[in-house]
Amino acid sequence: MPEFLVHIEIVWPPGRDDEQEREEIFAAELLQGQRLAGAGHLRRLWRIPGRWANWSLYDVPDATVLHEALTSLPLHPWMDIQVHPLAEHPNDPRALGIDPPAPAKETS
């Protein structure tokens, strides 16, 4: 199934200061993200520290399904979205069966 790397930046409108409305939208966003993950569409999600932005990995049948997933997000009206379709690479460590080493444990 095709994979898409998606960059999302939230651009909250200036002057839209209703804290309760924002909390409700963000709570609905959390639930919809969990639904997309449960359906297997949203595979990974990374926060960009210090910003209202993230990178996500979607595994969907095609760009139309990706569009439907992204527009289903309650924050969609305030999102600046960049989509990067991904293709397999012959040197992908996963495809070659190479397991990454376990991360070193911190000692105090």
Instruction: Tell me the per-residue pLDDT of 82-97, one tens digit each, with 9 for 90 and over.
Output: 999 999 999 988 889 9
Neighbours of 95 (CB within 10 A): 10
Lookup: tokens for 86: 């991904």
3-15+33-82: CATH architecture: 2-Layer Sandwich (3.30)
Q: Mean pLDDT, 10 residues at a time, over the chain (108 residues)?
A: 95 85 94 98 97 97 98 97 95 87 75
Q: For tokens 């939230």, what's the residue? A: 10
- Closest to 8 in 3D by CA, of 72, 64, 70: 70
Residue 10 pLDDT? 95
Q: In the prediction, which pLDDT does 106 show? A: 74
By DSSP bridging, strand 42-47 and strand 53-59 are antiparallel
